[in-house]
Amino acid sequence: MRFSKLEVLSVMKETGMIPVFYNSNIEVAKNVVRACYAGGVRAFEFTNRGDFAHEVFGELTKFAATECPEMIMGIGSIVDAPTAALYIQLGANFIVGPLFNPDVAKVANRRLIPYAPGCGSVTEVGFAHEAGCDVCKVFPGDVLGAGFVKGLKAPMPWSNLMVTGGVKPEEANLKAWFDAGVTCVGMGSNLFPGEMIKKADWQGITNLCSNALAIIKQVKK
């Protein structure tokens, strides 16, 4: 592992944002990682969404290690333990999932890698904590809302929550999430508009990232 568990968790907390991205074209993926890195991003989630996604990820982690040496590469959309193990072999430094699977937690814990499972209830977050998950992903964020985060943090203030879904690189939106008490946000399509990817406007993506990180710095408590 290129980064320790503590390093990964502190970067998540310090920067407050993890871009979430998938593309089957390795060159597009490399350009996006480089653009995010230039914008100040230091933790990046590639999602396990298409056929041969693991092959793209393997190339991408090697690329990041040389071209973006401080970038922590993680994998998202992981629902089972064998897939988690495969991506750990390919250099994943953290694992994110849309659901909570205790078998994935075992694989991640054995290698001291953060696992952020998707949780949609207070009970799920509690079970994830018991399984050793330091960060839980509130998902889907647009359905659960900032009120869910605030409500959960009242009886369980020790919870580190990352919200994905319904996060926009806008002040009002980000302020609502951080005011509610999230540790960090995961941001996908709003950070990577289809038009920008199509036009290969990598500078535009760099700007979106640096603006979002600047807003987060302002609104974080």
pLDDT tens track for 3-12: 999 999 999 9
Question: What is the chain's mean pLDDT, rounded?
Answer: 97
CB 204 within 8 A of CB 32: no
Name the pLDDT band for 35 (thresholds 50, 70, 90).
very high
Name the pLDDT band for 184 (thresholds 50, 70, 90).
very high
In angstroms, the CA 112 to CA 27 distance is 30
Q: Which residues of 176-215 are buried (b: 16+ CB within 10 A; e: fewer)?
A: bbbebbbbbbbbbeebbeeebbeeeebebbbebbeebbeb
CATH number of 5-219: 3.20.20.70
Amino acid at 77: S
Q: What is the dihedral of CA 28, 98, 13, 188, to 10 degrees?
A: 30
Plot region of 91 (φ>0 → left; ψ -120 to 50 → alpha; else → beta): left
132-142 pLDDT tens trace: 999 999 999 99
Domain ranges across the chain: 5-219
Whether the predicted pLDDT of 221 surpasses 80: no
**Residue 1: what pLDDT?**
80
Whether the predicted pLDDT of 18 surpasses 90: yes
56-114 pLDDT tens trace: 999 999 999 999 999 999 999 999 999 999 999 999 999 999 999 999 999 999 999 99
Share of the chain above pLDDT 70, in %: 100
Averaged pLDDT, 163-175: 96
Which residues are bridge partners to 21 per DSSP?
46
pTM for the full model? 0.97
